[in-house]
Amino acid sequence: MAVCKDYNLETDEEQIEPAKIIWKENDRYAIIAFLLLFVDRKMNGEDLKKLDVFMGITGTEINHDDDKLAELISVRDAIIREGGAFLDGIDPDDNSYDCIMDECDRVIDGNDKCKIGNGYYYRFVTSFTCNNLRGAPYLLFDYIKMVIFDNNYSGDRKRLLKHIARKWDIDKSVLSTLESALKSLNEISKKHAEIEESDMPHREAVLALAELKAREKTVWKELSAEPCYVKNRDEDDPAPEEDDDIYEDKLSDKISDGIVAGIEKVGDLLCAPFEWMTDKLMDWM
């Protein structure tokens, strides 16, 4: 994120006002998370904590230096400030959901007429470019993970997620697949905790945990299969030229043995930060 002085586009002369906030790509993904969390226009502490986890400010396996953490907190605070002003400024006579959906579109499109932060592109700032945010199911996974277990998930949050999926040209069946996978992982997590806290004989507990791990691996294998991830590669980033079945097996092995082995308790996955999750998945894409 940067705050840039405005310019007269005809003379290229610097003007004093107004300054405009230029969001980096990852900032824009976080703005979408903010809109998804507060699509009902009600801000609360629990949802603010979810935004922190999504941005990688808090959560499991966080390892930032002081400068990186300070930058993330600064961006988070700017999003909350600017986003809150946007939500408060919605005309009572307007359909608030439509206003929020339109802003989500502007964020994805890199529109310089946005309402939150008042700019995503500035032609004099060469380090930033006006481009569409690239969407992928693993990003949708993070967004669903953030809100799926809330009481109001079936309302405007789910509507906005469906809209985001359409905007990114992600097949609607993928949304259902990701929802189902997260619910399964949550169920596995709960049963894992129950077994650990029970007085079940050791041998029975080991067998039960092994069964849960096998179920967990199956869920991740389903997520690695088409159309969830592989189908959505960019044309300039084709799938490896090898047998599809072999490639799928390698993907599932990387997911189950890499990601799952790195988080022995499935419950940790459900609060894993956006940055960590993205990096792990991008390793095998």
Q: Read off the tokens for 150.
A: 């809330």
Q: What's the confidence (pLDDT) of residue 190? A: 92
Q: Read off the tokens for 60.
A: 């499991």
C-alpha 141: how far from chain center: 7
For helices 274-284 and 25-37, what crossing angle results, to 10°?
120
Q: How far is CA 71 from CA 57, 92, 125, 174, in A?
A: 10, 34, 19, 33
Write the secondary structure of 28-82 as one string of H (helix), E (strand) and C (coil): HHHHHHHHHHCCCCCCCHHHHHHHHHHHCCCCCCCCCCHHHHHHHHHHHHHHHHH
Q: What's the confidence (pLDDT) of residue 275? A: 42
Gyration radius of the chain over CA positions: 21
Q: What's the confidence (pLDDT) of residue 154? A: 78
Q: Read off the tokens for 174.
A: 């993928």
Q: What's the confidence (pLDDT) of residue 122? A: 46
Tell me if 224 sits within 8 A of 244, measured CB to CB: no
Q: Read off the tokens for 52.
A: 């922190």
Cα distance between residue 125 and residue 232, in whole Å: 31
Determine how many CB atoms are found less than 10 A away from the CB of residue 267: 16
Q: At CA 111, angle to CA 126 and CA 8, rounded to 5?
A: 55
Cβ neighbours of residue 275 closer than 8 Å, sequence gap 6 or more: 26, 55, 56
CA 116, 169, 226, 192 dihedral sign is: positive
**Can you list the residues of the chain whose pLDDT is less than 50?**
7-12, 14-17, 121-126, 230-285
Cβ neighbours of residue 38 closer than 8 Å, sequence gap 6 or more: 47, 83, 87
Residue listed under structure tokens 């179920």:
215
The DSSP output letter for 134 is P
Residues 95/163/79/151 CA torsion (nearest 10 deg)? 80
